[in-house]
Amino acid sequence: MNSHAILNLLPYQDPFLFVDGLTSITSEGVEGYYTFESDSYFYEGHFKDNPVTPGVILTECMAQIGLVCLGIFLLKESLSGSNSPQIALTSSQMDFFLPVLPGEKVRVVSEKEVFRFQKLKCLVKMYNEKNELVCRGKLSGMMSAGGK
């Protein structure tokens, strides 16, 4: 399964899609990127006169790339044309180090810790364009091939 097919199976759309592309994906991990557009809806009130990307949005971006894209890849044998993936985030533990400003492009790197009994657990890191660590954490979710 290639990255284009994975992106087409994501259960998100604008304005809540936080994946622009994937640069690599294997059964052990994934790397992808996203640019936070300056006119994104969440900058209007976070923070007044000094917009910063909310931590919950950074976590969502990391989950979409680092957990959901990897989960879809791992489920590739179970997914057919009539199936769509079913995904539920079950836990997140994040540490934040640097802000992400409007217009910034980030890179997300995820390493699989375990995928067992349809539960995926990953170590996920986000970097800015200067290759500085923005945030990192552990994300877990339940995955299944689901149905239509």
4 included as an active-site residue: no
pLDDT at 116: 93
User: Tell me: the pLDDT tens digits for 91-136?
Assistant: 999 999 999 999 999 999 999 999 999 899 999 999 999 999 999 9
End-to-end CA distance of the chain: 19
User: Tell me: the pLDDT tens digits for 42-85?
Assistant: 999 888 889 999 999 999 999 999 999 999 999 987 766 556 78
pLDDT at 87: 85
Cα–chain-centroid distance for residue 2?
Answer: 17
The active-site residue out of 1, 11, 46, 94 is 46
pLDDT at 91: 94
Name the 3-class secondary structure at 42.
Answer: helix
Q: How far apart (Å, rounded) are the C-alpha atoms in residues 40 and 105?
A: 13
Instruction: Please state the pTM of the whole predicted model.
Output: 0.93
Can you give the CATH number for the domain in which 75 is found?
3.10.129.10
Name the 3-class secondary structure at 84.
Answer: coil
Q: Which domain holds residue 49?
A: 3-144
What is the total count of domains within the chain? 1
Q: How many other CB atoms sit within 10 Å of the CB of residue 33?
A: 18
Sheet holding 119-127, edge to edge: 21-26, 29-35, 105-116, 119-127, 133-144, 86-96
Name the 3-class secondary structure at 11.
Answer: coil
Q: How far apart (Å, rounded) are the C-alpha atoms in residues 51 and 40?
A: 10
